[in-house]
Amino acid sequence: MFKKKVYSTILTGVLAFTTSVPSVMANIPAVIEGMNEPESEVEGNLFLPFSDLLEIDSTDEQELFSHIFVSISEDSQVVFTHELNDPLIEISIGEHVHYLSKDSEEIRLSLSEGLEDETVIQILVHRLEETDHNYSEQLFEWNVEEFIALIQDYDSEELTEEPTEEPVDDSIESSIEIEEDNENQSEDSEDTDDDTTIEENISALDPEEELEDETEVEELEQDDKVKEIEIEKETGLEEEGEQTTEGIQDSSSLNMRAAEMFNSSVSPERISNGVNVNYTTIVGASGFSIDSLPWGTSGYQRVGTTTQWVNQEVRITQETRNGEYVLIERSNELIGWVDRRALRMAQIGHVNHSKVISLRVRVSSGGYSVDTLPWGTPGYQRMTRTSDFINEEVTAVRQTNNGEYVLLEDSNGSLIGWVDHRAISPAAQKITNGTDVNYTTIVGIGGFTVDSLPWGTSGYQRIDNTRAYENQQVKVVQETRNGEYVLIEQEDKLIGWVDRRALRLAQTGNPRQSTTVQFEATLNRGGYTIDSLPWGTQGYQRIDNTSHYLGEKIRVVRQTHNGNYLLAERNGSLLGWIDHRAVEVTYQVGMVNNSFPVDYYSTVSRGGYSLDTLPWGVEGYQRIQWSQNITGETVKVTQKYGSYVLIEKGGTPLGWIDKSALNGTPQRKTYNEGSVVSYSARLKSGYTIDTLPWGVSGHERLSRTQFYENQEVTVRRQTGSYALIQIGSRVFGWVDRKALQLPVVYIDPGHGGSDPGATNGNTTEAERNLVSALILRDILKARNYEVIMSRTGNQFLSLADRAKDANALNPDIFLSIHHNAMGGAAAGTARGIETFIYHRVASGYGQETNRNNFRTEDPRIAESLRLADAIHPQLINRTGMYNRGLKGNNFHVLRETDMPAVLVELGFIDNASDLALIRSRQFQERAAVAMADGIDRYFKR
């Protein structure tokens, strides 16, 4: 990266010529005229400060180490030397480019090498910045005329030795500090606004006090033969072309010594390199000489003294570049050059192209002049230098529109004068609407700006970076209302406003009155503080502000018992404690195991109860709000858990609340009518569950069966139409018995009609099957089963029809009842009871007696086996009949039904002893009870 900076050029010239001027100037045709004074020896030092380039305060010390000397040697060479450490200086004269660096500290250029008046002399200073290989550079540029004039200018300022011509009366010296650095006018002065308004007088400084400084400076000059002159060249110096001749003429009088005698024959003259100005002032001091040229200039002669002009108004039309001498006139007649100190103090004014401001600033740089008007404005006068106010906090009350100059006022409200804006830095200041605080903290990692006012505030200015204070302890003395910015101070000196995030976070703690929670939330309100402890807790510190995280998701990991403050995590790290009002929780009202659905309305009648996402105290519960917010409202209660109920309004769950907050909740009431029973059923939807059988006075709805649809309940008591149900271990309430989904048993008496089955005499199997089935039906009904019969009369049904019918009605189980016979030669030889489930042996027909071969991977077969296992032993036990075993066979009704299906053979009709039993009512009933018991067992009833 190459970063080019364009600077206004500042030249500080220090000249003492010893070189023979003609030998130099002979090669510069455009400028040699008048320069051919043989005795003149010239040695020039062009002093270039690079403080701007180096971006450091231009302290005097630094200036000494950042300048270039340009001298003209005896053999007509221009010699450049420097005292810079790191810059690389590129000097080009015409097409010749030369470099000065650490390694080559001097270069010599012959001016005879084609130097013409169009030749441009450039000094380009590169500075390599070590950090990122950036270059910055500063360019100084003159044409030959300017360059020579510049040297002349310095020459004319300094060519004499000890002035013989000090002010006649030292005591009348103006107290304005006359350091030898003068800021001189640039061409821009012509463009500046002439309309100046005098605002306020500046009082004269104390003469005695300043006298000493003056003396010191004088001594310094004598020692070093050096005089620094600051020339501020805004732009376009090269356009000023006439100065050369005058300067050269001055040089031509080099050997003349200053006259001590008044010489009325000499006329005052304008100088070519002066600054043309135009303002009036009053001569204030007598005893200063009035000279034909600026005092000390080659050829100057005294033409009078100020004594005769005291208290008279004069007009200033020209000034030396350093501003020390001014050319005064009256009634358009030149009077002569006088020391500026002879003039009455100028008044501080303001200019039209400026605006009122109010900005606390600190005078941070001492090297600037303090002027009556913005520097360069016609009529401006320098009063002192900013070094008099270094580090003082003052107020900038006015600023030129281009921002270059500001008018300062001291803390007493007295105007100080106009200074270059670069001489000041913004000062930190308190704000009127801030919160005063007082705590210490540590500045964390740098990277935040330190500003004069809270960042973004109107007029805020950057002062520094927190890097300068990293890991240092500072005191926070004020905060913005939103807490985002804090004013820090150190050793009772305000540093500035910084983003709170620049401060090291205080440790977040867990106060005792808080509990662990876990829920997601969104920070949806700015302006709330984020604190190290719940706000107001002893020792809490403000850490941050929610405004920084607007819209962001956080996780709340802890909350105070009152729910007002939440400890939030963001991206896995603790953020701090936040007021719950800054947080929007997308509450997930949750369910809890062992709660049960209820359905009734109630009214919230008491405040002080929390509404929580889960019953209070259940792990992970979060408080949503307080019951006082909804007191008086009718709510629907939808769940119950211990003493907590879940309420909703308009279909939206409001949360879990202690039922004590409600205006009563319905309770099941004692009702002893009907009979005590105990059987299971599944609930059908569409019925209410009430505190009493529906219609009994005082009954209230508790819930609805829809919430328990298909759920198995136990019936504890029932009347003809209503049943008291127990759900789980809870005797719940009364339902219509039609709400009870009873187990459905399909009983299929085998054969019938044209198919009598096995027969023995006038005994037919079809009839025996039906008798047993009907007995079973009645028992099952009494036991609260729903029973479906494939036939209740002596009619023929195909096997296929029976299976289809059962499949269509979808009973829970299918039980086919048959009686056996061997027939033929084997008739009467077999006896006993056997039970079948479906099984198809490899040959297709035949029975399987090894239960290990049953295909129980089919759930229907497994359930069929479970049903057969429940029934068959009961049959054997109850009837005492011979046990033929539990078998598998490929019977149509077992194969074609979709539900668990079992077929029983209740003895052999063709066996005499079996038949006797089969025909007995007692056996029939025992067999039926056995099957019912087995079915009960199967249904776990």
**Strands 644-649 and 634-641, how do they pair?**
antiparallel
494 to 412, 426, 428, 454, 506: CA distances (angstroms): 20, 12, 6, 13, 22
User: CB–CB of 272/242 below 8 Å?
Assistant: yes
How far is Cα 907 from Cα 912, in angstroms, rounded to an integer? 10
Tokens representing 373 are: 């008007």
Binding mask 308-327 for Zn ion (x = CB under 5 A): --------------------
Rounded to a whole number of angstroms, the minimum distance from the CB of residue 876 to Zn ion is 19
Q: Which residue, 608 or 846, is less far from Zn ion as judged by CB? A: 846
Rounded to a whole number of angstroms, the minimum distance from the CB of residue 758 to Zn ion is 6
How far is Cα 92 from Cα 121, in angstroms, rounded to an integer? 6
| Centroid of chain to Cα 783 | 71
Residues between 812 and 871 that touch Zn ion (CB under 5 A): 818
Q: Which residue, 259 or 775, is less far from Zn ion as judged by CB? A: 775
Cβ-proximal residues to 373 (8 Å cutoff; 6+ apart), any chain: 196, 348, 349, 350, 351, 379, 380, 381, 418
Residues between 605 and 634 that touch Zn ion (CB under 5 A): none
Q: Which residue, 298 or 772, is less far from Zn ion as judged by CB? A: 772
User: CB–CB of 647/636 below 8 Å?
Assistant: yes
Q: Which residue, 727 or 821, is less far from Zn ion as judged by CB? A: 821
Q: Which residue, 668 or 819, is less far from Zn ion as judged by CB? A: 819
Tokens representing 428 are: 């930190």
Binding mask 493-532 for Zn ion (x = CB under 5 A): ----------------------------------------
Q: Which residue, 590 or 757, is less far from Zn ion as judged by CB? A: 757
* Nearest residue to 79 (alpha-carbon basis) of 102, 41, 98, 106: 106
Rg of the chain over Cα atoms, rounded to whole angstroms, equals 57
Tokens 């009772």 belong to residue: 492
At residue 865, φ and ψ (nearest 5 deg) are -65, -40
Rounded to a whole number of angstroms, the minimum distance from the CB of residue 818 to Zn ion is 3
As to burial, measured by CB atoms within 10 angstroms (0-12 exposed, 13-18 middle, 19+ buried), residue 95 is exposed
Rounded to a whole number of angstroms, the minimum distance from the CB of residue 902 to Zn ion is 14
786-819: string of b/e by CB count within 10 Å (b at 16+)? bbbbbbeebeebebeebbebbeeeebbbbbbbbb
Nearest residue to Zn ion, by Cβ distance, number only: 818
Residues between 237 and 296 that touch Zn ion (CB under 5 A): none
Q: Which residue, 277 or 766, is less far from Zn ion as judged by CB? A: 766
* Nearest residue to 872 (alpha-carbon basis) of 933, 818, 915: 933
Among 49, 417, 576, 757, binds Zn ion (CB under 5 A): 757
**Strands 833-838 and 883-889, how do they pair?**
parallel
Q: Which residue, 607 or 753, is less far from Zn ion as judged by CB? A: 753
Residue-by-residue DSSP string for 514-567: EEEEEEEEEE---S-EEESSSTTSTT--EEEEGGGGTT-EEEEEEEETTSSEEE
- Dump strand ranges (E) for 364-507: 369-371, 382-385, 393-400, 405-409, 415-420, 424-426, 435-442, 449-451, 462-465, 473-479, 485-490, 493-499
Amino acid at 719: T
As to burial, measured by CB atoms within 10 angstroms (0-12 exposed, 13-18 middle, 19+ buried), residue 403 is exposed
Rounded to a whole number of angstroms, the minimum distance from the CB of residue 894 to Zn ion is 13
Rounded to a whole number of angstroms, the minimum distance from the CB of residue 756 to Zn ion is 10
Rounded to a whole number of angstroms, the minimum distance from the CB of residue 817 to Zn ion is 9
Q: Which residue, 44 or 757, is less far from Zn ion as judged by CB? A: 757
Rounded to a whole number of angstroms, the minimum distance from the CB of residue 751 to Zn ion is 6
User: CB–CB of 569/557 below 8 Å?
Assistant: yes
User: CB–CB of 773/817 below 8 Å?
Assistant: yes
Amino acid at 87: P
Residues between 762 and 821 that touch Zn ion (CB under 5 A): 818
Cβ-proximal residues to 17 (8 Å cutoff; 6+ apart), any chain: 40, 41, 42, 43, 44, 72, 151, 155, 159, 251
Q: Which residue, 82 or 818, is less far from Zn ion as judged by CB? A: 818
Rounded to a whole number of angstroms, the minimum distance from the CB of residue 802 to Zn ion is 12
| Count of residues of this chain found to bind Zn ion when the rule CB under 5 A is applied | 3
Q: Is 818 helix (H, G, I), strand (E, B) or coil?
A: strand
Tokens representing 212 are: 């000493």
Tokens 């200018």 belong to residue: 153
Rounded to a whole number of angstroms, the minimum distance from the CB of residue 869 to Zn ion is 22
Rounded to a whole number of angstroms, the minimum distance from the CB of residue 755 to Zn ion is 9
Tokens 């040959």 belong to residue: 843
Q: Which residue, 362 or 818, is less far from Zn ion as judged by CB? A: 818
Residues between 697 and 756 that touch Zn ion (CB under 5 A): 750
Rounded to a whole number of angstroms, the minimum distance from the CB of residue 932 to Zn ion is 21
Q: Is 26 helix (H, G, I), strand (E, B) or coil?
A: coil
Q: Is 266 helix (H, G, I), strand (E, B) or coil?
A: coil
Q: Which residue, 779 or 909, is less far from Zn ion as judged by CB? A: 909
Q: Is 913 helix (H, G, I), strand (E, B) or coil?
A: helix
Rounded to a whole number of angstroms, the minimum distance from the CB of residue 892 to Zn ion is 11
How far is Cα 385 from Cα 408, in angstroms, rounded to an integer? 12
At residue 116, φ and ψ (nearest 5 deg) are -125, 170
Q: Which residue, 251 or 772, is less far from Zn ion as judged by CB? A: 772
Catalytic residue list? 905
Sheet holding 369-371, edge to edge: 382-385, 369-371, 415-420, 405-409, 393-400, 354-363, 424-426
Q: Which residues bind Zn ion (CB under 5 A)?
A: 750, 757, 818
